[in-house]
C-alpha cells in the first residue's frame, strides 16, 4: 500500500513540476519530472513527520529540498551528461550555473501551496 501511495505522490509531484515548466518556459524535460516527483515525495514525508511545523520553517525546508534536488539534477543532466536543460550562469550568485537565489526564493513561495496540498492529501 505504501509503495502505491508513494508512487502516486511521485507522479503528482513530477506532473505538477513539468506543468509549471511548460506554463512558464513553454517546455520541459524528463529530468524535471523526476526532480519534481522527488521533491514532492520528500516534502510530503517531511511535512507528515513534523506535522506541527510552522509555515515559515516549511518554506525554508522546501527551499532547501527543492534547491538541493535541482542542484544534483543539474550537475547530472547539465554538467555531466551535457543535456543543457537549463543554465543560470548569467544569474547573480549562481552556483555552477545550476542554482541561484532567485529560483530558490521562488521555491520558498511554491512551498506554500505544496504544504497545503500535502496536508489535504494526508487527511
Q: What is the pLDDT of residues 57-99, one digit of tens each?
A: 999 999 999 999 999 999 999 999 999 999 999 999 999 999 9
The rounded distance, in Å, linking the Cα atoms of 122 and 103 is 27
Grid cell, residue 114, equals 505544496
Task: Work out the mean pLDDT of the chain and round it to a whole number.
Answer: 96
**Domain range for 62:** 2-122
Average pLDDT over residues 28-57: 97
Average pLDDT over residues 34-61: 97
Q: How many domains does the chain have?
A: 1
- 31-62 exposure pattern, b = at least 16 Cβ within 10 A, e = fewer: bbbbbbbbbbbbbbebbeeeeeeeeeebbebb
The rounded distance, in Å, linking the Cα atoms of 54 and 73 is 28
Amino acid at each position: 500500500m505504501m509503495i502505491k501511495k508513494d508512487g502516486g505522490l511521485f507522479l503528482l509531484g513530477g506532473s505538477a513540476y513539468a506543468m509549471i515548466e511548460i506554463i512558464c518556459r513553454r517546455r520541459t524535460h524528463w529530468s524535471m519530472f523526476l526532480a519534481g516527483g522527488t521533491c514532492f515525495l520528500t516534502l510530503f514525508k517531511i511535512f507528515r513527520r513534523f506535522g506541527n511545523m510552522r509555515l515559515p520553517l516549511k518554506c525554508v525546508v522546501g527551499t532547501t529540498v527543492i534547491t538541493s534536488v535541482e542542484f544534483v539534477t543539474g550537475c547530472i543532466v547539465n554538467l555531466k551528461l551535457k543535456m543543457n536543460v537549463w543554465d543560470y550562469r548569467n544569474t547573480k550568485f549562481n552556483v555552477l550555473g545550476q542554482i541561484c537565489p532567485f529560483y530558490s526564493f521562488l521555491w520558498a513561495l511554491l512551498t506554500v501551496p505544496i504544504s497545503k496540498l500535502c496536508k489535504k492529501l494526508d487527511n
